[in-house]
Structure 1
Amino acid sequence: MLALLSTGFFLNNDAVASSPEVTDLEQIYRSAIEDAMIAEEDEICKELVPITESNTELQWMEDSGEKYVLVVTWTKYPESYPVGVNVSTWWGDTWVMVIPELKGFVQQNDIQDDELTVRLEQLIGLPYDNGNNYFVEMWVMPDDLFRPAPDPEITDTQAQLYFHENVSQEHLEWFNSLNSTTYEEYPWTRLGYTYDWGDPKSDVGLSEYVVKENSQVIINSVSTTHDYFDQESN
């Protein structure tokens, strides 16, 4: 992996406001994209979060006889997610994370308010100042989730570098299509975790999953970025 940084990369407002620092952010992000283009055996993470009912860290519910797990996405389109409504993800794939891992990271690292958005962009593998400002929690059926990796199963703790013999043609086509275009914009690891371009020690971010296009999800909550992590009940 590239040694992207030699020191910690938590920025304050003054640093972000100055154009040299913003240029540095952009250069580091471009380096992350280049690094992510090649996935290697030693980059496999063996501690991905499994989506199973036996995983007590996750929240589950049952509706009309179907089991749902609670996940979260970061978006700039809150109007697409009316709270309490069953929504079809007609617009395409929706990339999500699990809530305990996301919130745990912020709490454990004591991220200050003026650093929060930039640090989340880094953690989730998004470009600086990408515009996302709402966290949406949604209930989704596990069958509508997959890992964005050659190995799409969600019930284990690691994703493999190569396709299994029984992987579907649909997933093969999805993967290859994304692989041919995404590196113009994003550092996609293809190993089931986000690329954290703000950590000088490890680029392993959060476990990530994709909600399939046209899935039926139930919206649990919509919060601004800062409100989401300020809520005392969470």
Structure 2
Amino acid sequence: MKFLLIFFAWFFIVEELMSAQQLTLAERYEFAVKDAAIVKENSISDQLWIISPNNIDLVWNKDKTQLLVVSWISRADFDQYLNNKTILESDYKVFTLWVTAVPQIRKFCNKINNLSVSEMELRLKQYLGLPHDHSADLFVEMWVTPDSLFRPCVDNEIIDNQCQVSIPEGFLETEYGKYFQHLYFDSFRSQKIAWTGLGYTYDWGNADSKVGASEFILKPGSSYQINVEQRTRKYCSNKL
């Protein structure tokens, strides 16, 4: 009897996995959105990138007052919100800039550089927790100060390697707490984006781990200096 129960359990697991493999991209992403919406203790990652001069993986200027970050956006958004400017839009409801620390994306790009442009763009969208039909074709690197960055999670400091799940008492009444609610309800759940709220992107293209890149937000009204802007294929061809 015990053997039969194990057999049937295994059978249904295999059947479920086979069904998941046959899902369309839209259906797979819908599953990712639903999964990301439920924040669990076992979803916490302790491998988030730390923003500190002591982190030798980061790219700093000579006096280590600024570091390189990168955002993958559309040419239209670049022209409207970033190009020929040095100050970010001050209203986060108008434009919010999500970034990762250089060279995390470059490292990932080097692993998928053998793919076609369309395959590469899809894999990047998966890695960054974006829907398959998301519009992005330009990588923009910029110099920013560490204090202009924060992690989009309950505890938003950038000097540790993980985010907490529990919400402190009174958090939702704070200015940042209200902003966090806006991110969660208005920007993401209404638009059905797979946002973890745990400091990393939801990688819906990796069967082994959903932990993608460590993500940050550039504070509204922050100063920045563009280092380079390149099309996806060219940026991903850059050697480390």
TM-score interval, normalised by the smaller of the two chains: 0.7 to 0.9
C-alpha change, 1:107 and 1:166, in structure 2 (3 Å) is: farther
Q: Which residue of 2 aligns with 1:173?
A: 178
Q: Which residue of 2 aligns with 1:162?
A: 166
Of 152, 155, 169 in structure 2, the residue corresponding to residue 151 of structure 1 is 155
Instruction: Tell whether the 8 Å contact from 1:92 to 1:214 is kept in structure 2 after alignment.
Output: no
Q: 1:85-234 alignment to 2 at 5 Å?
A: 86-90=86-90, 91-109=94-112, 111-114=114-117, 115-164=119-168, 169-181=174-186, 182-184=188-190, 185-232=192-239, 234=240
Q: Does 1:75 align with 2:80?
A: no
Instruction: Tell whether the 8 Å contact from 1:89 to 1:216 is kept in structure 2 after alignment.
Output: no
C-alpha displacement of 1:135? 0.4
The one-letter amino acid paired with 1:72 is V
RMSD of aligned C-alpha atoms? 2.7
Gaps of 5+ in 2: 1-13
Distance between the aligned counterparts of 1:194 and 1:40, measured in 2?
A: 15
The one-letter amino acid paired with 1:73 is S
C-alpha change, 1:95 and 1:226, in structure 2 (3 Å) is: same
C-alpha change, 1:62 and 1:215, in structure 2 (3 Å) is: farther
Instruction: Tell whether the 8 Å contact from 2:154 to 2:164 is kept in structure 1 after alignment.
Output: yes
C-alpha change, 1:35 and 1:141, in structure 2 (3 Å) is: same
Distance between the aligned counterparts of 1:226 and 1:110, measured in 2?
A: 8
Distance between the aligned counterparts of 1:38 and 1:215, measured in 2?
A: 31
C-alpha displacement of 1:103? 1.4
SS in 2 for 1:189: coil
The one-letter amino acid paired with 1:123 is Y
C-alpha change, 1:158 and 1:210, in structure 2 (3 Å) is: same
- Which structure: greater helix fraction? 2
- The range that moved more, 27-36 or 110-119, is 110-119
- 1:61-115 Cα deviation digits (max 9, x unpaired): 268xx811110001112324337x6333345321101122111122235551341
C-alpha change, 1:55 and 1:176, in structure 2 (3 Å) is: same
- The range that moved more, 153-162 or 105-114, is 105-114
C-alpha change, 1:173 and 1:192, in structure 2 (3 Å) is: same
**Bigger radius of gyration:** 2
C-alpha displacement of 1:41? 0.5
C-alpha change, 1:111 and 1:190, in structure 2 (3 Å) is: farther
Q: Which residue of 1 aligns with 2:8?
A: none
Instruction: Tell whether the 8 Å contact from 1:96 to 1:209 is kept in structure 2 after alignment.
Output: yes
TM-score (norm 1): 0.83
The one-letter amino acid paired with 1:132 is A
C-alpha displacement of 1:5? 6.0
Q: How many residues matched?
A: 216
Distance between the aligned counterparts of 1:101 and 1:170, measured in 2?
A: 30
Distance between the aligned counterparts of 1:6 and 1:131, measured in 2?
A: 29
C-alpha change, 1:214 and 1:32, in structure 2 (3 Å) is: same
SS in 1 for 2:87: strand
Distance between the aligned counterparts of 1:5 and 1:74, measured in 2?
A: 31
TM-score (norm 2): 0.81
The one-letter amino acid paired with 1:143 is D
Gaps of 5+ in 1: 10-20
C-alpha displacement of 1:231? 2.9
Instruction: Tell whether the 8 Å contact from 2:140 to 2:227 is kept in structure 1 after alignment.
Output: yes
- The range that moved more, 103-112 or 159-168, is 159-168
